[in-house]
Amino acid sequence: MDVEIIPALPEHESILANMLELYAHDFSEFKDLKLGADGRFGYKDLPLYWNDPDRYPFLIKSDGHLAGFALVRRGSEISGDHDVWDVTEFFIVRGSRRLGVGIKAAQWIWGSFGGKWEVRVIDRNQKAMGFWQRAIDDYLGEAIEPIAFEKNREGWHVFSFECIQAD
């Protein structure tokens, strides 16, 4: 399976917005997300990914077809540490899950941005917890334990690790 990670350009914004709707629909199982009057969940921060130099949008393709996206930013959502890389949002369409697409994409992204990383997972999303545990442990070559924390009265776990940027 060929996995390709492409930096999303401004002309890809509508593609990302469409996939963010699928992501929000899936995520609404775990968070109280409401549809807007237009029948969309929306993602108000999406334009920032082309205006803020600390944000990076990516499209993920598998065998030449769109398979998901990743939104990455510099700056910790937890500590505020500006030097931490954060996987803000990550999504693989259902038909491409459990095929290694997500793991390959995540590991490519970590290798592209060396330094400290955080990956946050809401406790109620146990499938995501397992995915991130496998992806990170495989990438690092050792098991790490996520740290529990609470945000907005919800339980979360954060994986914190450091990686070296690939050449």
Question: DSSP secondary-structure letter at 39?
Answer: S
State which residues form the domain around 147: 3-163
First-residue to last-residue Cα distance in the chain: 23
Tell me the CATH number at 98. 3.40.630.30
pLDDT at 147: 92
- List per-residue pLDDT tens for the chain, 167 residues long: 799 999 999 999 999 999 999 988 877 666 777 777 787 878 899 999 999 999 999 999 999 999 999 999 999 888 888 999 999 999 999 888 888 899 999 999 999 998 999 999 988 888 999 999 999 999 999 999 999 988 878 889 999 999 876 65
* Long-range contacts of the stretch 126-129 (C-beta < 8 A, 24+): 129/157
Residues 6 or more apart whose CB falls under 8 angstroms from that of 148 comprise 123, 155, 156, 157
3-class state of residue 40 by DSSP = coil
Task: Report the domain count for the chain.
Answer: 1
